[in-house]
């Protein structure tokens, strides 16, 4: 099922045409309403009349997270305060939160994108859907919530932090769909097993997971333990929230709602736009938002775009999984390391729980990487020889994937703290010194 064929299945020419027209209107809006953008455009000798097609986007300036901070709290707002009907803030994973104001129209767009995503996963009005993202300033909860209602399914606003109650509701209300972070999905699976429940006691069939990077191995793990089909849901509050892109049943990249959010991939060093298939920093222009529209916003998320047609019939461009944020990337002894690389190795080995922590430090001016990982109950033993062997097996695999050696620490089951929202998997002590 497709929620909005007229926008999700357009020909490429029609889409470019629509994007070009919307871009022109957007530029007019920010030029006249946001002094920050007018000044930036004036410095480049640009007026709205110079922007007439989507290709002209390359003439426009970028916007960074720092620009949002410099204009905190509402300096980049294009709408008058009386037009703003809701405010959210980014989670502040990597610094101070940024404030985002939404007009009534922005909330309509968001709801529409959220409904497109849920429909792409197969959610219908017959589903009973639990939203396990946090409700509040974070966009996850309310973003998914309004999409579920719009599709016509039953929404259960469980939010985070009620795990026991959540499990009971899953069983008693025969909940069929769930949205939460992938790490919380695993936490729920663990809690279920602790409570003596199995996946046969619940009816989940669809999961919408996002708000943090996750891997294919993690998908398999969640699907096996909760007995559902797990799909990716991507978004960020600066652009709108969850629903910027979403997987379809082909599970091969996430379709971008590009009639609203125009994507580009740039080389983060040269800022040059990159062709489809090349990994770089994802950049979005909000083509239709009126509260806090952004020109060429640098997300710091790293991925590539997929131009080929998808078997599901949608024509919208897809993006690959996020391999990490450019500021997530650890540079250890000069080598680039993403936590997601460690995750794939760990989840490939049946001996480990999908719970790990990276501790980076600097000892005698040499960087060190410690990887803490929980051994599954069935594999944990007092046999020191066996444990040492397991440790070496993991260390060798990590070395071949990362090209640097890691000090592996095998941990008892349930000894690493779980997270209900976005998980913290890296402690970089070098920054604390
Ligand atoms: P913050 O940047 O403070 O975490 P948000 O709550 O708006 O603010 O989170 C948006 C970010 O979360 C994205 O830029 C991205 O890094 C991450 N994210 C969201 N969805 C996904 C996803 N499906 N896969 C990977 N990362 C994601
Ligand atoms: Zn598709």
DSSP symbols for 166-224: HHHHHHHTT--EEEE-HHHHHHHHHHHHHTT--GGG----EEEEESS---HHHHHHHHH
pTM of the complete model: 0.90
User: Under 8 Å CB-to-CB from 139, ≥6 apart: which residues?
Assistant: 88, 90, 100, 235, 237, 240, 241, 242
2-32: per-residue pLDDT in tens? 999 999 999 999 999 999 999 999 999 999 9
| Percent of the chain residues past pLDDT 70, beyond the cut | 98
* Structure token digits, residue 109: 């767009």
- The runs of H, that is alpha helices, within 234-302 are none
In the structure, ligand 2 is a single-atom ion and the residues with CB under 5 Å from it are 248, 250, 310, 312, 314
Chain centre distance of CA 197: 29
- Average pLDDT of the chain is 95
- Residues in the chain, overall count: 433
CA 247 – ligand 2 centroid, Å: 7
How remote is the CA of residue 166 from the centroid of ligand 1, in Å? 24
Segment 148-200, tens digit of pLDDT = 999 999 999 999 988 999 999 999 999 999 999 999 999 999 999 999 999 99
Which numbered ligand comes closest to the C-alpha of 313? 2
In this predicted structure, what is the pLDDT of residue 347? Answer: 94
- List b or e across 347-360, with b for residues whose CB sees 16 or more CB atoms inside 10 angstroms: bebebbbbbbbbbb
Contact 188, 199 (CB under 8 A): no
Residue-by-residue DSSP string for 336-349: EE-HHHHHHHHHTS
Encoded tokens for 124: 């219908």
Confidence of residue 325 (pLDDT cuts 50, 70, 90): confident
232: left (phi over 0), alpha (psi -120 to 50) or beta: beta
Q: Give the DSSP H/E element, type plus range, for residue 299.
A: strand 297-303
H helix runs in 53-126, sequence order: 65-70, 104-121
**Using one digit for the tens of pLDDT, what is the confidence trace for 106-128?**
999 999 999 999 999 999 999 99
Segment among 40-54, 75-89, 352-366 with least mean pLDDT? 352-366
If you measure from the C-alpha of residue 196 to the centroid of ligand 2, how many angstroms do you get, rounded to a whole number?
A: 37
Place of tokens 């409904």: 115
Give the whole-number percent of the chain exceeding pLDDT 90. Answer: 90
What is the distance between the alpha carbons of residues 142 and 376, in angstroms, rounded to a whole number?
35
**Partners of 262 in the beta sheet?**
285
Structural tokens at position 25: 């209107």
The reported pLDDT for the residue numbered 406 is 96
Q: Residue 317 pLDDT more than 80? A: yes
Dist. CA 142–CA 337, nearest whole Å: 34
Query: Angle at the Cα of 38 (from 34 to 42), degrees rounded to 5?
Result: 175
Return the C-alpha torsion angle 243, 245, 251, 252, nearest 10: 180
* Choice from 90, 236, 304 to test ligand 1 binding pocket (greatest atom count within 8 A of CB): 236
Helix axis angle for 163-172 and 182-194, nearest 10°, is: 80
For ligand 2, the distance from its centroid to the CA atom of residue 255, given in whole angstroms, is 7
Strands 154-156 and 128-131: what pairing? parallel
- Residue 174 Cα to ligand 1 midpoint, Å, equals 29
Residue 422 binned pLDDT confidence (cut-offs 50, 70, 90)? confident
Q: Quick one: which atom of ligand 1 is closest to the CA of 138?
A: 6
**Dihedrals φ, ψ of 24, to 5°?**
-60, -45
pLDDT-derived band at 77 (thresholds 50, 70, 90) equals very high
The two beta strands, 206-210 and 177-180, are: parallel
What distance in angstroms lies between residue 246's CA and the mean position of ligand 2's atoms?
A: 9
Q: If you take atom 10 of ligand 1, which residue's CA is the nearest one?
A: 236
pLDDT computed for residue 335 by the predictor: 87
Quote the pLDDT of residue 420.
85
Taking CB atoms and a 6 Å cutoff, what residues make up the pocket around ligand 1?
A: 90-93, 138, 210-213, 232-237, 299, 301, 322, 325
pLDDT of residue 364: 84
pLDDT digit string (tens) for 336-388? Answer: 899 999 999 999 999 999 999 999 999 888 899 999 999 999 999 999 999 99
- Predicted confidence band of residue 90 (pLDDT cuts 50, 70, 90): confident
The pLDDT of residue 275 is: 98
How many Cα atoms occupy the beta-carbon half-sphere of 186 within 13 Å?
22
Q: Which atom of ligand 1 is nearest to the CA of 90?
A: 8
Residue 394 half-sphere exposure, CB side, CA atoms within 13 Å? 30
């Amino acid at each position: 099922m497709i929620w909005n064929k007229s926008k999700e299945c357009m020909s490429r020419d029609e889409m470019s045409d629509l994007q070009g027209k919307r871009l022109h209107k957007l530029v007019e809006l920010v030029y006249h309403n946001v002094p920050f953008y007018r000044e930036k455009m004036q410095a480049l000798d640009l007026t709205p009349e110079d922007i007439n097609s989507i290709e002209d986007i390359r003439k426009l300036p970028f916007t960074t997270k720092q620009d949002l901070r410099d204009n905190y709290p509402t300096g980049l707002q294009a709408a008058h305060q009386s037009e703003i009907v809701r405010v959210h803030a980014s989670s502040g994973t990597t610094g101070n939160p940024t404030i985002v104001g939404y007009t009534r129209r922005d909330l309509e767009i968001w709801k529409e994108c959220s409904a497109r995503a849920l429909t792409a996963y197969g959610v219908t009005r017959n589903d009973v859907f639990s939203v396990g993202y946090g409700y509040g300033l974070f966009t996850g909860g309310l973003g998914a919530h309004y999409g579920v209602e719009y599709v016509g399914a039953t929404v259960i606003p469980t939010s985070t932090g009620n795990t026991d109650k959540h499990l009971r509701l899953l069983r008693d209300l025969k909940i069929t769909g769930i949205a939460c972070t992938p790490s919380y999905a695993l936490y729920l699976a663990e809690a279920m097993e602790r409570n003596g429940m199995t996946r046969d006691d619940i009816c989940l069939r669809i999961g919408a997971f996002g708000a943090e990077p996750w891997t294919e191995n993690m998908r398999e793990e969640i699907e096996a333990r909760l007995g559902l089909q797990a799909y990716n849901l991507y978004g960020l509050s600066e652009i709108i929230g969850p629903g910027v892109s979403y997987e379809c049943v082909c599970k091969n990249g996430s379709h971008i709602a590009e009639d609203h959010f125009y994507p580009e991939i740039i080389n983060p060093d040269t800022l040059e736009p990159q062709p489809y298939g090349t990994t770089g920093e994802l950049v979005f222009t909000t083509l239709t938002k009126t509260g806090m529209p952004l020109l060429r916003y640098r997300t710091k998320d790293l991925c590539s775009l997929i131009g080929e047609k998808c078997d599901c019939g949608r024509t919208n461009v897809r993006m690959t999984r996020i391999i990490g944020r450019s500021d997530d990337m650890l540079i250890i002894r000069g080598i680039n390391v993403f936590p997601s690389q460690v995750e794939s190795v760990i989840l490939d080995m049946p001996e480990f729980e999908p719970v790990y922590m990276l501790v980076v430090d600097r000892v005698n001016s040499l960087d060190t990487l410690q990887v803490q990982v929980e051994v599954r109950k069935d594999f944990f033993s007092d046999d020191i020889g066996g444990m040492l062997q397991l440790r070496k097996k993991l260390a060798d695999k990590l070395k071949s994937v990362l090209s640097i050696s890691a000090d592996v620490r095998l941990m008892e089951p349930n000894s690493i703290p779980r997270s209900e929202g976005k998980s913290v998997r890296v402690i970089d002590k070098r920054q604390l010194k």
